[in-house]
Amino acid sequence: MNTHDPIVRCAACDGYGWLDADEDADLNFDNLAPDAAPHAGAVECRWCGGIGYVYRAANGIDRRIPPEDYAPHADTLERLEVERLREIGYTGDAKKPHQQQIRIDRGDRIVWQYQPTDETGIDDALPNGADPAL
């Protein structure tokens, strides 16, 4: 495992991990994961192997991060992904399913199944009016 080269966003796919092209059938997500297909018509980025990030050597050459390196770099990869999401307009922390506008608009079952009792999201059903902070 390489612990020296910094991890940077993949220049080919800009961190997305996939490209909006379909000329390469072998890398098409529809073939790679026919059951998932969240990126129908998209292909896995062959530069980074689909994770959106690469090692950048001192000489400026990017190379793929092997899968066995994902776990030891999980924190870095997650931080970079959060930064990327903020750049493209995603703000704030992860939202709970019932707070996601797309789910609300769609009328997803989870939205009306999970409704916190107040703005704090803390269930009010504490015995004897106990202070939730204690």
Residues at the site binding Zn ion, with contacts judged by CB under 5 A:
10, 12-13, 45, 47-48
- Of 15 and 111, nearer to Zn ion (C-beta) is 15
Minimal CA–CA distance to 8: which of 71, 81, 69, 66?
A: 81
Do the beta carbons of residue 97 and residue 108 sit within 8 Å?
A: yes
**Is 52 exposed, middle or buried, given 0-12, 13-18 or 19+ CB atoms closer than 10 A?**
buried
Angle at 108 between CA 20 and CA 99, to 5 degrees: 85
Residue whose tokens read 């959060």: 82
Query: At its nearest, how many Å lie between Zn ion and the CB of residue 110?
Result: 32
- Of 13 and 111, nearer to Zn ion (C-beta) is 13
- Of 38 and 107, nearer to Zn ion (C-beta) is 38
Query: At its nearest, how many Å lie between Zn ion and the CB of residue 17?
Result: 6
- Of 18 and 111, nearer to Zn ion (C-beta) is 18
- DSSP annotation of 94: P
Query: At its nearest, how many Å lie between Zn ion and the CB of residue 63?
Result: 12
Query: At its nearest, how many Å lie between Zn ion and the CB of residue 47?
Result: 4
- Of 12 and 37, nearer to Zn ion (C-beta) is 12
Structure-block tokens of residue 89:
């307009």
Query: At its nearest, how many Å lie between Zn ion and the CB of residue 39?
Result: 13
Task: Identify the three-state secondary structure at position 43.
Answer: strand
